[in-house]
Amino acid sequence: MTPRSGSGTAGGTVLAEQLAQQLAPRVSKLLLDVPDFPVPGVLFKDLTPLFGDPGAFAETVEWFAAIGREAHADAVVGIESRGFLLGAPAALSLGVPFVPVRKAGKLPRAVFEESYDLEYGSAVLAVHADALSAGARVLVLDDVLATGGTAAAAAALVRRGGAQPVAVSVLLELGFLGGRARVGDLPVTALVTA
């Protein structure tokens, strides 16, 4: 597993790239494969060992924050649920708002919703309609980029909220699923690619 950045070409900040070179091998060793979860045929990537390693977790959050600084992000959108664990501390490090993108039916006020397909089914994401400031530059952050459906749906929700998605950043990219193609021209940065 190796660090990978850009929208096919471009990279992140020098700091983010330096962090990635040092951190990616360490994080790769912490990710565990769980076969046939949540359905047969899916190889689930368990991140809980990363969250249990305070040093590696802190460095991973700082890597995400460095990506946000390079993108001049005014907000961080984290996608349910492991995107919350990574996105909230990255937003704190950046000193910008954190906006949760949730599964349908989980938010209590008016929302925008977006349907999407994933590698083992389909789903709907939602964000509060008033969550983002008009014109805000938003870093879309998630744990894994697989088919790209989740990231594309989150970016669409950001646009519907009047803000501008400026980058997608993930901990792990499953490159063989071709998810980058689904997010269009947004720069995509992954700490680890499998």
Which residue is associated with the tokens 């680890």?
192
Tokens, residue 40: 């047969």
137 among known catalytic residues = no
- Tell me which residue of 103, 121, 189, 117 sits closest to 149, measured CA to CA: 117
pLDDT digits (tens, 9 = 90+) for 52-73: 999 999 999 999 999 999 999 9
**Predicted pLDDT at 119:** 65
For the entire predicted model, the pTM comes to 0.90
Predicted confidence (pLDDT) at residue 93 exceeds the cutoff of 70 = yes
Q: Which of 82, 137, 180, 182 is catalytic?
A: 82
Predicted confidence (pLDDT) at residue 184 exceeds the cutoff of 50 = yes
Predicted confidence (pLDDT) at residue 11 exceeds the cutoff of 90 = no
**Predicted pLDDT at 10:** 36
Class in CATH terms, 2-193:
alpha beta
Q: Which of 59, 62, 80, 119 is catalytic?
A: 119
82 among known catalytic residues = yes
Q: Measure the CA–CA gap between 71 and 73, rounded to whole angstroms.
A: 5
Choice among 81-85, 108-112, 119-123, 189-193 with the minimum mean pLDDT: 119-123
pLDDT digits (tens, 9 = 90+) for 101-144: 999 999 999 999 999 987 667 899 999 999 999 999 999 999 99
pLDDT digits (tens, 9 = 90+) for 155-165: 999 999 999 99
Q: Measure the CA–CA gap between 181 and 102, rounded to whole angstroms.
A: 23
How high is the mean pLDDT of the chain? 92
